[in-house]
Structure 1
Amino acid sequence: MDFLKINGGHGEGGGQIIRSAITLSCITKQPIHLENIRKNRKKEGLKPQHLTAIQILQKISKADVIGAKIGSTELKFIPGNVENLELIEDVKTAGSISLILQVLIPVVSISQKKLTLIIKGGTDVLWSPSMDYTQHVLKEAYSRMGIEFSIEIIKRGYYPKG
């Protein structure tokens, strides 16, 4: 199997490399091998919000994943076919729900499948868009591209608990 190797420590080496890589892997069906994940960060490796996004994508696409654990600096992601699914997930921290949705929305919309997700995590946390932004700005931008989804915030999640 040919993996596309991606240096997760490139540039600022943040989580966007992870999110973009696994999203595009699912869309293109290209297996990826992420190395040096968050290498240039104070605390390198996968954080809970990255792991949750990977695990949800693994479930909805029936992907094979190697190295998906907190602190891991290496990950192999082999995407499968996206399926309709209903999930309940918990980031277990104030990890950003809006950043997790950045991964899921493109994959689910392009696959034309349906995902019903109840997720517990951070709605208003530093260094990420708020859920209000996601609900009122990003959702509108996607709507103009023909991509529809709904968000219901039952309770706000703040640092450190979510």
Structure 2
Amino acid sequence: MRGSHILSFTGISIMLTLTSGALAGQLLYNLALKKTAVQSSTNGTVGTAGRAVDGNRDASYQRGSCTLTSEQSDPWWRVDLVNVYTIGAVMIINRDKLENRLDGAEIWIGNSTSISGPESIRCAVISHIPKGQAFYFPCNSVKGRYVTVFLPGSAKVLSLCEVEVYY
């Protein structure tokens, strides 16, 4: 029997892996916690970019725990990790309502604030995260300082309740 499970606490996660009957644990640190985040726009006063890195895993925008952009073409959200890290995974918590808004969003990692340059690599495309749920996206040890969530298309709204970045 094999498999992995991640136990998470504020700012720290523990990945437990069962392989060939042995249990191994790995301590993971959330590199994005309390770091500076920005986004393409903000709808209202509550949905600021920093809500996604505040350590609050509540999936309710109404309780002030999620980001929210205005409706626009190609909205994005980005966190500055300050230093370059080798990223192993990115975890995203979706809102408890309007769950399909994140469908098709892309996770980019790089050393530039632009995702169109050669210094950025697309880690994952979000096909769907059920409402109020967390999902981990493996990033295969991509190196970078900036993690960007980009939602391509016109008339889109980007909302994230928590983004955690692990090395």
TM-score, normalization by structure 1? 0.29
Higher helix share: 1
Q: TM-score, normalised by structure 2?
A: 0.29
Which protein has the bigger strand share? Answer: 2
Larger RCO of the pair (alpha carbons < 8 Å, separation 6+): 2
